[in-house]
Amino acid sequence: MATIDQLIQQSINPFGNDAARNFWEEQQQSPTVDSIHEEALTAIKSVLDQVSQDHRTRTLILYGDTGSGKTHFLGRLKENLNSQAFFVYIEPFAQSDHIWRHILRHTIDSLVNAPIGQTDSQLILWIKSCLSTIRQNLKSEQQSLIDKIKTFFGNIDQADRQLFIDILKNTVGIKGIYNANEFFGILYSLTNPELYSLACEWLKGDDLEDEILKKLRVKQSIDSEEKALGILGNFSKISAKTQPIVLCFDQLDNIARLPNGLIDIQALFNVNSTIYNGNWEGLLIIISIRTASWNYNYKRVQPADLDRISGKIPLKRITLEQAESLLESRLYSLHQKADSLPASPIYPLNTKVLEEEFPSRKAVPRQVLALGRRLFQEYKEWLFRDQQPPKPKWIDGVKPPPPVPPDPGKILAEFQLLWQQEYKKVQGKIGKISLLAAPDLMRMMQEVLEALKIPAIKPKLISGKYASYSLSYQLPKNRDKIGIVWTEDANMTSFFNIMNACQKAIQKNLCQQLFLIRIGNVGNAKLTGYRIYSQIFTGTQHTHIKPNLTSVHYLVTYHNFVNSALADELVILGKLITLPMLQSLIVKSKILEKCKLLQDLEIFPKVTPGPNPTMEKVKEFLLNLVITQGFMGVPTLIDQAASQFPEVTETDTKNLIDLLCQEKKVKILDPKAKFQDQLICLIA
């Protein structure tokens, strides 16, 4: 076994960045110190217990300073309490006039995920809980119905559908279900594996084609705020009979904005008041927000809406003892690999340096982790110099000097590493374009155009119901106004209405060139919508683009970074990255130039991918990791590549390292040493 100092030289910095952008995706990859924010967790658990008992909906404000760990805390909350409630993450809403449909979509998106340790999704567990309640309410003479409900995941013939609906309507004791026949019919469809995914699409508010609506035996899709509100109300009423649903609103700094540029926080509190005024039950609403953002915005919320807040939960600064435990949690696995345990559980750091850095004996977790990252790296580089001067004075307990601004090249390299991590997660989560709503796709497109400094960006090119499906801008090379309309609605009536709105926009000369983005079909010659589509996009300057899923992954990944930057949660090498900085990084990295959709929109020239794009990504990953770490063990570098690119063989990775050596970008310090002892470093 190696000594702890040898392991430190070979390792990557254990205080590096985590790529998770919201609490639902985090899955608690980072170690957790139970004592940190324990009071807040206990307080929220107490409120959740109250909701479980009396079913009254409650709203909590979760606030904390920048770096206090709000996102990590929400992930921990979900992990600890997922057996007692169903957890929902609500992405920042792009349009205030679509807020109920937005909340419904993200409610279903979260409920179709399985809690840790479960095979069934939250939605299926919710239905099972619902049907369990029904069985308990049935009388003994209704045993035949009990037996049929027990087999609800089997092949129930269609004759039982109405029976299923009648049972839910008459035995659960729930009053005022919105559109009861259709809603309970959809719950019935969820019990059929062949209809489950279609029923989920309906619940999310997808504008489904008529054939699918017939399969589900419903008349129309959820295409309005009123309908979305009604369906969410149904979930509330049934949850009062089962388990609470926890709605978590996070990263509010990127919600829809008012004409004056401020966030539309009142829209969120309008939702909250509607829920309270409607006496919705079984919900715990958690609004997570930075302390500074709350203090700046809450005065613009109606006092009556503020009165409906049940409590405010602060995430306080942590103690020095908790800070030490946090450092220990990050260093633990490294210590366990050493031939003997170091004298201190936070070696190579020490308690004295914490006392010197935080004389008040209080800190936010981000400050502690940033200190750990910086000092660990300093110690590692000192070891690399064979412990030659200058020796870091903090080793002897002296207060460390202020951090030096990180090198821009290292920040760019670290950003590219974070991008690859986030992009990989997005790939795993989004398997088809229709999972995203058109207003959200337009918001993401707008964010990308703003990063690229495209002038005159204006949302809502077309008018009417589908205005949020569109935007316009100008290309720098000319003064023509370009329009984009993006729709994946499968319903052909909706497609007709959108094409009709596009035609009117062109007739009014609102744009000189129009791009329709749509991967779905456009109908046939029998349909009026198709005929309008043909008039617009056949033999004209207007273009229909069929986007690929990869392009959407680019948009979503960048959007996640925007959310994080606006929430003051994006930190690279100890530096807080603002939105303008992020925009600069995305341009410098040239990542978006590979996005085929942006090439089709003529924002970037079309390029032909190399013969093996995966190998190019792995090579870039290897170089960026060495840049950010300074030097590291060759086996560690190979392991990191295998974790990020499991499809690439170790032999291929070694060949790429050899290629980087030949290009004189990196070098192996002692190629004759045993493989496990070899170190690799950057060539300046």
CATH number at residue 619: 1.10.10.10
My answer on whether 440 and 427 are in the same domain is: no
Task: Give the pLDDT band of residue 129 (cuts 50, 70, 90).
Answer: confident
∠ Cα 590 426 269 (to 5°): 105
Q: Residues 14, 331: contact at Cβ < 8 Å?
A: yes
> Which pLDDT value is given to residue 173?
61
Assign 56 to helix, strand or coil. Answer: strand
Nearest to residue 418, comparing CAs of 254, 646, 653, 577? Answer: 577
479 compared with 645, residue with greater pLDDT: 645
Helix pair angle (408-429, 549-566), 10° resolution:
120
My answer on whether 556 and 622 are in the same domain is: no
My answer on whether 447 and 468 are in the same domain is: yes
* 106 lies in some domain: no
My answer on whether 154 and 220 are in the same domain is: yes
My answer on whether 157 and 235 are in the same domain is: yes
Q: What are phi and psi of 57, to 5 degrees?
A: -70, 140
Task: Give the pLDDT band of residue 579 (cuts 50, 70, 90).
Answer: very high
Cα of 349 vs its chain's centroid, Å: 33
- Cα(574)–Cα(369) distance, integer angstroms: 9
For the segment 371-415, what is each residue's pLDDT rounded down to a tens digit?
999 999 999 999 988 888 888 999 988 899 899 899 999 999 999
Q: What is the mean pLDDT of residues 444-458?
A: 96
∠ Cα 447 451 454 (to 5°): 95
- DSSP state, residue 515: E
My answer on whether 521 and 652 are in the same domain is: no
My answer on whether 554 and 425 are in the same domain is: yes
Q: What is the mean pLDDT of residues 481-491?
A: 95
* 158 lies in some domain: yes
Nearest to residue 237, comparing CAs of 309, 166, 172? Answer: 172
- Cα(606)–Cα(592) distance, integer angstroms: 12
* 58 lies in some domain: no
* 286 lies in some domain: no
- Cα(357)–Cα(359) distance, integer angstroms: 6
- Cα(481)–Cα(484) distance, integer angstroms: 10
Assign 296 to helix, strand or coil. Answer: helix
My answer on whether 220 and 323 are in the same domain is: no
* 197 lies in some domain: yes
- Cα→Cα distances 44→59, 60, 80, 170, Å: 10, 8, 11, 34
Secondary element (H or E) of residue 514: strand 513-517
Q: Residues 460, 468: contact at Cβ < 8 Å?
A: yes
> Which pLDDT value is given to residue 28?
47
- Residue 420 domain boundaries: 408-431+550-600
Q: What is the mean pLDDT of residues 258-267?
A: 94
* 573 lies in some domain: yes
What tokens does 206 get?
Answer: 């997808």
My answer on whether 458 and 512 are in the same domain is: yes
- Cα(477)–Cα(481) distance, integer angstroms: 11
My answer on whether 442 and 423 are in the same domain is: no
The whole-model pTM stands at: 0.93
Nearest to residue 330, comparing CAs of 75, 31, 628? Answer: 31
My answer on whether 480 and 629 are in the same domain is: no
> Which pLDDT value is given to residue 158?
46
Assign 17 to helix, strand or coil. Answer: coil
Nearest to residue 622, comparing CAs of 657, 594, 588? Answer: 657
- Would you report the helix, strand and coil content of the chain in percent, each value rounded to 5? 55, 10, 35
Q: Does the structure show a pLDDT above 50 at 367?
A: yes
Q: Residues 155, 206: contact at Cβ < 8 Å?
A: no
* 144 lies in some domain: yes
* 421 lies in some domain: yes
Average pLDDT, the chain: 90
Tally of structural domains, the chain: 5
Residue 176 CB coordination number (10 Å): 11
